[in-house]
Structure formats: C-alpha cells, structure tokens
Structure 1
Amino acid sequence: MSDDVTIRWLATSRGKLAWREDGPAAGVPLLLLQRFRGTMDDWDPAFIEAIAAERRVIRFDSSGIGRSEGEVPDSIGGIATVAAELMSLLGLGQADVLGWSLGGVVAQQLALDAPHLVRRLIVAGSSPGPIADGPQAHPRVAQVMTKPENGPDDFLFLFYPETETAVAAGRASLARIATQPQLGPKVTAASFMAQVKAISTWPGVLHRAKELPMPMLVANGAHDVMLPAYRSYVLSQQAPDAKLVLYPDAGHAFLFQEIDDFAAEVDRFLTR
C-alpha cells in the first residue's frame, strides 16, 4: 500500500471526525467499526489492502477517539449514533458494515437502530451481549486489556492462540500496524473509561436478534480468549439470515491472521 496517508475531516454535531477511504469508488461502500481502544490506524494494512481490492472501504476515528474531536459516548447506542451521522453526512445512503470486537457490538446496535443504513452486516470477533452459559473470557483478559498501555506480548495473548503458527502471524501483523507512516494518537484514558462504561451497560441484542433481517456474516477464531466463539455461534442461531465461520488455530484477531481466506469470505458474502 502507498505510504501516502490521506486523512479527511468531517464536521459533525460532536466535532470533526477523522476518516479515510481505500479502494475504488464504485459499488456499495464497506464501513469499518473498530475494536475497544483501537483507532483507524489499528487495522492491519494488509487486511485493508485485501478487502479494498474491489470496493470502497471507509474507516474512521469515532468521537473522542484518535485524531477525532469530541468525547466518547458512554453508551453503545450513542457510539452507534456517531457512525450513523457519519454515514448520513458522507451521503452513503446504505452501506455494508464490518464491525470487529467492540465494533461488532456497535454494528449490531446500528443495524437495530438504523436498519435502513445497513445492507449487509459482518460481525467479527464479537458478541451479542452477556451470555451466562458456555465458555467465558480467560481470567487474565480483564487485567491485561485494562492496562494503561498494551505491549506486543499483551496483544499476542489477547488476540492469538499460543501456537507457533498463530504467534508468528500475530507478530507479523503487529509489525505491519506499528510501522505504518503518520500514526495518530492513541486512545486516551478518559475515552477508554467511557468505552468501558458503554460496554458494561449494554444489554445486548439477543432479545431483539430476530429484528436483524439483513444478511449477516458472523466470524471468529475458534480460540478467542476475549469473546469466546460460542457467543458467535449463539448470535448466528438467533439472527434470521446469518452464516457462521470459525477459524481453527486462530483467536480474536483471526481477520489479521487469515487475511486471504477471510477477505475472500467477505467478498463472497458482499457480492452474493
């Protein structure tokens, strides 16, 4: 990919939001919603290149995140409203939406609150909300993910299984992300705490999953220590038109580990 990083700015009711786009302008755009404590710079550039080969891909820093102005809303519905306003101001009309982790939570809420904006929905490494049964997060997850700053070993634990193949893929992905030019600021402590509040107070969508009629691709790594793959399975069973894909020897960041396979899956899903 080019080292020329073109950051665009959009004036919104919450202040200016930073955004950028990749890929050709034609066709239905794909909007990306980022993970907890992630900015638009934290997408693996190799993943962006793969999914933007045939379509316009839009990513942005939500209110109070990264380069963007404003404050992080303290509810998932509020964060979804930021995405909806961005879509409206960009004149997207309707878009496909891919949300990873926290972004998958926001994507589900967006699809419930503004279904007219979402043509197809991809929920990656995420959850439909609190689920009491089945596997739960690894006991170390809360401690690691709430550190003031996460290092490579933290991300390897959170995002990849402890196998030689997965760890090697994880190190390569982290290196690609870290060596991008013109990286923006990290998520602040105040924004981090607002995200925590939003997540902890979200009731989930399982009681309303049948109100998500759009085609849905639900994907995860089979060994996700943060949001166990069982949660993806539960969501896929409740949504009316959902396909479930699980990747072996992969975890929360399966989409950066199995880039070619998942990009092909995304392309099939969006063009079928």
Structure 2
Amino acid sequence: MSANTAVTRTVDVDGTPFAYREIGLAEGVPLVLLQHFTAVLDDWDPAVVDGLAERHRVVLVDLRGVGGSGGTTPDTMEAMATDLAAFVRALGFGQVDLLGVSMGGMIAQALAQQEPGLVRRMVLAGTSPAGDAGPANAMALLQGALHESAAVGKHPKHVLFFSPTATSQGAADAFLARLNERTQDRDAEVTNETIGAQATALANWELKSSPDGLATVSQPVLVVNGDNDVMTPTISSFNLAQHLPNARLSIYPDSGHGALFQHHELFVRQTLEFLSA
C-alpha cells in the first residue's frame, strides 16, 4: 500500500463520517498528518507519506467538513482539535504522533494543550504560535497568488509554497507532478464554505493575545520551515520554537512554505530520526 493506492475509508465520529487513509506499518504509535489551509487528502506529497510509512503507521485525515468528510467546518483551531481528538479515539488510538503543516500545525498545538496525554511527539512545519503576526489576510494572500500565478501560467503553489529561484521552482514542478500521480479514488475538493471557515480560524488564531499556553506543552517538538516562507513568515518558526519548552528547529535553504516537500528526502530522514529518538 502506498499514498497513491491507499483506500479512502470513513469512520463515524460522533455521527459524522470522517474520511481518512492509512499507509505503512500495522503497529506502533500512529503518525496522524494534518493538512494546510484548503487542502484535502490528495494534497499530501506521496514522497513524504511513503517515506514516513516505511517505519510508521501513517494516517491521513480530512477533518469535519473538509474533502470527503461530512459536517460543517469549525471556525476555530480549538474546535478542529476537539474533532481531531474524537477522530483519534474513533480509530481506537490511545496516543498519537502528529505532523501538522501550516494550519495543521496550529490544530496540533491546540490538541497538545487540550489533551496532552493524547499526543506523544509533534512535527510542526510552516506554522506559527497563537498571537503571532503572520499574513494579514489568508484570503487576500490566496487571491493575490491566484492572480500572480495565472499571469505567468503557473500553479498558485509555485508562488505560495516555493522560492522564486530556478532550483525551488523546479522542485515545485516535481512536487505538483507527484500530486497528480494518484488517478483513482481521488478526494473531493474543499467547498467555499470550508475555505471561509478555515480563513476565519486562521484570523482568530492570529488575534489571540499570546501563545502562553505553549509553556505547558512538554512533548518533544520538531519545528521545520523554509528560509523564505511568504505564507507563514520564517520568523514565526523561530518564535514557535522559543515558546516550546522541548523543541528543536530546522530551517531549510532556498525554500518556502513547502520546504518539507521541496526537501522531502531530508525532511523524511529528520522526521524519522526525531520520532524514534
């Protein structure tokens, strides 16, 4: 089983079907992957998923209202974290590791504060602590990228996830090609309602007074980002690592928000080493 062939299943979470896929080992602490703003199951890079699945039980999930899952998407990270906890328990897991990208990293932080016993370790990529000054408006940033990318005949992720250098743009081409490898049982796209709720959740996260709650997060955390992130400024990763009592920081060169996809071999290696430490 691989990222491109894993069957999409659903599990009942308090009366709502949540779509998910499992890849990798059948035992050990599961690694739950949490996606970025507007993303669904098919936005996960197969190179990252398959690399992690060589040594872990990897679970991809659409939270409430996202992709193939039912229900209505909440507009706070805390409510999304509550849904995540219910999903984890619905699959019978007593404890999990988390890999959260961008908005997914915020959900992971919220869950670690709400239910610390449920989380063993976390990898937080391209994300920020609550109250940190990120992009002023997620929707405005997305619209700007749509216009910019259309003007040059590229995908918005060329602009939002990768640096403008030739090397990074070449990595963007390779990444987008990998996302199109799966041809069967593809996930549903996010709705406008979900996009609006997620944008509100991002705004609410930035408007929080401070990230003081992170002082209680004692789990080991690996914080990752590119050195030129235009979506969640790279300085936010430094701030996040400083607020966490037990964090290590890894900044990848010539890369942006999608650093873990551009440098997927390095990211997988560092993540596997961190999770098994």
TM-score normalised according to structure 1 size: 0.93
Task: Pick closer, same or farther for the CA change 1:212–1:3 going to 2, 3 Å.
Answer: closer
Which aligned pairs between 1:237-256 and structure 2 lie closer than 5 A?
Answer: 237-256=242-261
Give me the whole-angstrom Cα distance separating, in 1, the residues matched to 2:182 and 2:145: 22
Q: Deviations over 1:213-235 (max 9, x none)?
A: 00011110011011111111011
Whether the aligned pair in 1 keeps the contact of 2:30 and 2:56 (CA below 8 Å) is: yes
State whether structure 2 residue 204 is matched by structure 1 residue 201.
yes
Q: Tell me if the contact between 2:5 and 2:182 (Cα under 8 Å) persists in the aligned partners.
A: no
Superposed CA RMSD: 2.0
Q: 5+ residue gaps in structure 2?
A: none
Find 1:224's aligned residue among 220, 224, 229: 229
Alignment partner, residue 172 of structure 2: 170
TM-aligned CA deviation for residue 176 of structure 1: 1.1
- Distance in 1 (alpha carbons) for counterparts of 2:3 and 2:199: 34
Q: Does 2:160 correspond to 1:158?
A: yes
Question: Does the 8 Å contact 2:162/2:258 carry over to 1?
Answer: yes
Structure 1 unaligned runs (5+)? none
The CA deviation at 1:143 is 2.9
Report deviation, 1:145. Answer: 1.2
Counterpart of 1:267 in structure 2 is 272
Secondary structure, counterpart of 1:105 in structure 2: helix
Distance 2:110 2:225 in 1: 19
Distance 1:73 1:229 in 2: 27
Corresponding position of 2:238: 233
Alignment correspondent of 1:89: 90
Deviations 1:105-146 (A, max 9, x none): 1000010011111000111110002335xxx64x89753414
Residue 15 of structure 1 corresponds to: 16
Aligned twin of 2:72: 71
Paired position in structure 2 for 1:32? 33
1-structure distance, mates of 2:255, 2:114: 32
- Residues in 2 aligned to 1:228 and 1:162: alpha-carbon distance in whole angstroms: 15
Distance, in Å, in 1 between the alignment partners of 2:218 and 2:125 is 18
SS of 1:201 mapped into structure 2: helix
Residue by residue over 1:39-94, the C-alpha shift from the partner in whole angstroms, topping out at 9 and shown as x without a partner, is 11100111111111111000111110001110101111111111100111111100
Equivalent pairs: percent with the same residue? 37
Query: Residues 42 and 121 (structure 1 numbering): CA distance in 2 closer, same or farther, change over 3 Å?
Result: same
2:195 maps to 192
